Amino acid sequence: MQSDEKRFAGLTQLKASQTSFPLTPTAAKLETFDNMFTDRDYLIEFNCPEYTSLCPVTGQPDMGSIVIRYIPDKYCIESKSLKLYLFSFRNYNTFHEEAVNLILDTVVKACSPRRAEVVGRFCPRGGIAINVKAVFGDSINEQTI
């Protein structure tokens, strides 16, 4: 088993004495740590009920919740880096569909999970609420985990 110092060496944002807020999702970095239980499937779920971004056409704020669920393989996502990544959307112009797929792609690139899904439930604007779900691999069925 590796030492905690080596295991957590890549977690620069969690160890930082000052928090640096990225201005865009491409400037943000998701950090990971080693999964200690690669021999089994288990579900990790993050819920961000205060997600915000900007409409790319009108510039109006869009609000909603983002739920990220994944079955880790070798790596797990560190939650502070995820918080900062999601925060980076606050002044970012994007459609809901693009945001959900971008978040999924970033999660998959960062930790190469066995399966993952991102669900965005966006508050109504103009009388219409939008819900978007993007999936990597098979859908996650908690009955089979």
Among 139, 111, 134, which residue's Cα sits nearest to residue 38?
Answer: 111
Q: Is 55 a catalytic residue?
A: yes
Q: Which amino acid is at 128?
A: I
Global confidence as pTM:
0.89
CATH 3.30.1130.10 fits 30-137, yes or no: yes
Say which of 4, 39, 48, 62 is annotated catalytic: 62
Q: How many Å separate Cα 80 from the centre of its chain?
A: 11
Residue 114 DSSP class: S
Rounded Cα distance between 18 and 6, Å, is 22
Among 4, 39, 48, 55, which one carries the catalytic annotation? 55
> For this structure, is 4 an active site residue?
no
**pLDDT tens-digit profile, the chain (145 residues):** 566 677 777 776 666 667 778 899 999 999 999 999 999 999 999 999 999 999 999 999 999 999 999 999 999 999 999 999 999 999 999 999 999 999 999 999 999 999 999 999 999 988 999 999 999 999 888 878 8
